[in-house]
């Protein structure tokens, strides 16, 4: 009789551990795809853009993002390059959405139309 209890407890522990493992694996696959935000920028107000840029950097970091490219020299290969170019990355779409939905981001979006012309888009990367 005691062997049956031990076997039942072992079976229950195995089922619990297996279920927890599946949850972890599912969460990892859901969040494994990075999302890149690409911006082409033509600045019309340098002072305003400096303020915008500093505030945006704080907001990106707050929501788990990091810059990959921020300004720098652009060499034309084919066509006319933008005057300024940035790329930042978020680990997953959930962090991107957190950044997009942040109340501070809504304020910055209103500000940016007054200080520069942007062409922006987000694209999913390759899962790691």
Domain ranges of the chain: 1-30, 33-124
Determine the Cα–Cα distance for residues 100 and 63; give it in Å rounded to an integer.
Answer: 9
pLDDT at 24 over 90: no
Nearest to 38 by CA among 127, 119, 98: 119
pTM of this structure: 0.72
Q: Provide the pLDDT for residue 11.
A: 45
How high is the pLDDT of residue 71? 84
DSSP per-residue string spanning 46-95: HHHHHHHHHHHHHHHHHTTEEEEEES-----SSSPPPSEEEEEEESSHHH
pLDDT of amino acid 72: 82
Give the Cα separation of 36 and 81 in Å (integer).
19
What pLDDT, on a 0 to 100 scale, did the predictor assign at position 127? 82
Phi-psi region for residue 10, left (φ > 0), alpha (ψ -120 to 50) or beta? alpha
Question: How confident is the model over 28-69, as pLDDT tens digits?
Answer: 445 589 999 999 999 999 999 999 999 999 999 999 999 999
Q: What integer pLDDT is reported at residue 3 of this predicted model?
A: 59
What is the C-alpha to C-alpha distance for residues 41 and 76, in angstroms, rounded to an integer? 16
∠ CA(77), CA(44), CA(50), 5° rounding?
95
pLDDT value for 120: 95
CATH code reported for the domain at 33-124 = 3.30.70.100
Report pLDDT digits (tens) over 90-114. Answer: 999 999 999 999 999 999 999 999 9
pLDDT for res 32:
82
Q: Which of 100, 105, 106 is nearest to 37 (CA)?
A: 100
User: Rounded distance, CA 63 to CA 66, Å?
Assistant: 9
Record the tokens describing residue 128, joined without a space. 């790691």
């Amino acid at each position: 009789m005691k062997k049956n209890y031990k076997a039942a407890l072992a079976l229950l522990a195995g089922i619990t551990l297996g279920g927890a493992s599946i949850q972890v694996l599912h969460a990892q696959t859901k969040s494994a795809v990075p999302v890149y935000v690409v911006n082409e920028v033509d600045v019309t107000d340098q002072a305003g853009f400096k303020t915008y840029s500093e505030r945006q950097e704080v907001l990106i970091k707050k929501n788990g993002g990091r810059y990959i490219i921020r300004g720098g020299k652009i060499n034309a290969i084919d066509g006319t390059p933008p005057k300024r170019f940035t790329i930042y990355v978020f680990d997953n779409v959930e962090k991107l959405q957190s950044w997009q939905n942040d109340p501070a981001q809504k304020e910055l979006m209103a500000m940016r139309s007054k200080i520069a012309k942007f062409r922006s888009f987000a694209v999913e990367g390759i899962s790691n």
